Structure 1
Amino acid sequence: MTKRVVVWGTGFVGKMVIAEIARHPFFELVGVGVSNPDKVGRDVGELCGLDEPLGLAATDDVDALIALAPDALVHYGPTAAQADDNIALITRFLRAGIDVCSTSMTPWVWPAMKLNPPNWIEPITEACEAGQSSCLTTGIDPGFANDLFPMTLMGLCGEVRKVRASELLDYTNYEGEYEFEMGIGKPPEHRPLLENKDILVFAWGATVPMIAHAAGIELDEITTTWDKWVTPVEVKSAKGVIEPGNVAAVRFTINGVFNGETRIQLEHVNRVGADSAPDWPTGNDNDVYRVEIEGSPSITQETAFRFTDGSGRDAAAAGCLATGMRALNAVPAVNDLPPGWVTALDLPLIAGTGTIR
């Protein structure tokens, strides 16, 4: 059965997903919502850089999109920095009985996380109840790279002494915001937003208590570490030049402590330039997500996202497409689940119906 979807957002992720939907046998794109007034009324194919128009105009008319009665809203809106706008939009669809699969509000990956403020949780809970609808937030990290992947591998073990999920990426070609959040490109004395423990755990640590819950334990505490690497030479990137003496790599961890030991760990090593922070962890390949389990048995898994279609798109773009497709491909499963919050622990195996054709 074809699933009729409305997509909100034609940014970097939304554009790539819409291109996939346009040729997908299982999903029908019935509407596209945008918040940028300059995009309203324009053909979605044009907005997404497709070869042909789709005959579908982008709109900011939420009521009109709801009136289409889609099977789901697939939401690639702004980040949690615009939480109020996201909540206002998503609750309108949920109250209308339309399920939502989103990649925006990363703390919602595990709504039960204690740091989630009530005014972020209660409106969604109430809207799901009113509309008998469901709401899933997923992503890559936070998301499937540090919830689905490690928990799947943990199911192969008799004992897990430690599980670590790592993002090991080179940001050379990345054009998104990292100066303010991570301090890359800034002097080492600059204290970026995510260096604050509570903000770091809130923004990216939701999968730590999720894994603990899945393993049947209650964590003693969640701790963090933050390290910076200062470049002695100029480092060139898509965003310009990082001058000598400024930060060209960061490494941080979010640690779930149980019985006095770190048992669950999320690690990020984000560098600009392959030669930056040479002593810090790297993958067997560049730009990978790695899961390491110390246990019985011990397991190591590395996942690399790539385009092999000759388009020249880099690993970061491939990871972004995977992020978006996880939300889209989850629509049938979310439709079949009871109303309310949906997390990775509620989803069945999603094999990607219609991907082989």
Structure 2
Amino acid sequence: MINVIQLGLGPIGQRLTRYLFEREGIQIVGAVDPDPQKVKKDVGEHADIKALGVSISPNLDSCAAIRQADVAIISTVSFLEKMEVQIREVADYGLDIVSTCEELSHPWKTHPECAHRINDYCKEKDISCVGTGVNPGFLMDYLPSVLTSVCREVKHIKVERIQDARPRRKPFRDKIGAGLTGTEFEENRGAIRHVGLPESVHMIAEAMNWKLSEVSETMHPVFAEKTISMDSGKVQEGDVAGVRQVARGYQSDSEVITLVFKAAVGIEESHDSIHIIGSPTFTSTIDGGINGDIATSAIIVNAIRSISRAAPGLKTMLDITAPAYFSGVNA
């Protein structure tokens, strides 16, 4: 039995509750969210399943079963600066950590000082910690790295994640600016983007043992060519439907990694494609793409066994045993 505490009970946190509940050998013993409208609610009922007898607490210190827990699942923030404080609080209770924090997925080059502090603190507290998800954490970094296992030589890796945002949760659509006018998009540009592409570039580079001279990222709005309906309203013709971001990694003047992320409501043919140029050269495509909300929650649950087996410290997906679906935890 693995006892789990959840931190963060928004849309992804609620989905995680459902996925954790259905997995044999995993038990939710605590739940934390500071939102006063969630505090004291049963975590199962909050996730639209049966009552689990676990009330949502406002913080870790008020979580009655904290000493029974083995692993903390953190689905709260995307940015490492805010995440560091939460990691320290959880580490003080001796819990291993699996998190959806995008910048935690591979922070060694993007936030080196913070990454080293987290790594040192985790080692001091004898716990292991990993940030993962569908992207970053799998589709645009870990999976292409694994696919190069069959290569004699690799010269260039290009990944394209093209997805219709209509099936995704509303916070995701908000994050990509769906429904904003062009002016509103520019006014809020600092808050609109998919987080994690530079981290994915650096993860691939680490796997390839490539020393990059430069990493760049660009972002542009995708405009709706017609009015598009979604469950939270409509995107009018000419307004922003989503974003197209491209991250590139260079060795000297040569582009060796290209990551293309396009998410917008109304995309007709979603797909995830990985192009490897080398020996052999090949393309692997997932027609229809992978639903990010399902996949992120699933990989978090599937990574629990892997992080429980890992040595203390801050890990990436390259460091832990490959997560795989498991029907239950062996007694």
TM-score by length of 1: 0.81
Q: Percent identity?
A: 24
Contact 1:230/1:245 (CA < 8 Å) preserved in 2?
yes
Name the structure 1 match of 2:108.
Answer: 112
Structure 1 residue aligned with 2:78: 79
Which residue pairs with 1:98 in the alignment?
95
Equivalents in 2 of 1:3, 1:208: separation in Å?
Answer: 33
Shift of the 305–344 alpha-carbon distance from structure 1 to 2, 3 Å rule, reads farther
Which of 151, 157, 161 aligns to 1:163? It is 157
Q: Distance in 2 between matches of 1:192 and 1:272?
A: 21
Which secondary structure does the structure 2 equivalent of 1:77 belong to?
coil
Q: What per-residue deviation string (whole Å, max 9, x for no partner) do you get for residues 286-308 of structure 1?
A: 433221212222222233689xx
Contact 1:183–1:192 (CA<8 Å) still a contact in 2?
Answer: no
Match of 1:35 in 2: 34
| Whole-angstrom CA distance in 1 between matches of 2:12 and 2:130 | 17
Q: Could you report, residue by residue, the CA deviation over 1:258-314 in whole angstroms, capped at 9, with x for unpaired residues?
A: 241211111112222136xxxxxxxxxx433221212222222233689xxxxxxxx
Structure 2 match to 1:354:
327
Q: 1:207 to 1:182 in 2, by over 3 A?
A: same
Aligned partners of 2:135 and 2:196 also within 8 Å: no
Tell me the residue number matched to 1:213. 206
1:152 aligns with 2:146: yes
Contact 1:201 1:254 in 2 (8 A): no
Q: Which consecutive residues of structure 2, in runs of 5 or more, have no partner in the other structure?
A: none
- Identify if the C-alpha distance between structure 1 residues 102 and 230 changes in structure 2 by more than 3 Å, giving closer, same or farther: closer
Match of 1:176 among 170, 176, 189: 170
Does the aligned pair in 2 maintain the 1:249–1:269 contact within 8 Å?
yes
Q: Tell me, what secondary structure is at the counterpart of 2:170?
A: coil
**Residues 1:239 and 2:232 aligned together:** yes
Match of 1:140 in 2: 134
| Stretches of structure 1 lacking an aligned partner (at least 5 in a row) | 276-285, 307-314
The answer as to whether partners of 1:179 and 1:186 remain within 8 angstroms in 2 is no
- Deviation track 1:205-238 (CA, whole Å, cap 9, x = no partner) reads 1011121121111112112343444334323333
Residue in structure 1 matched with residue 57 of structure 2 by the alignment: 59
Q: Output aligned runs, 1:169-318, within 5 Å.
A: 169-177=163-171, 181-188=175-182, 190-191=185-186, 203-274=196-267, 286-303=269-286, 316=291
Which structure 2 residues correspond to residues 8-27 of structure 1 after superposition, within 5 A? 8-27=7-26
Task: State the one-letter code of the partner of 1:163.
Answer: I
Alignment check: 8 A CA contact 2:273 2:285 kept: yes
For 2:326, the aligned partner's letter is T
Tell me the secondary structure at the aligned position of residue 237 of structure 2: coil
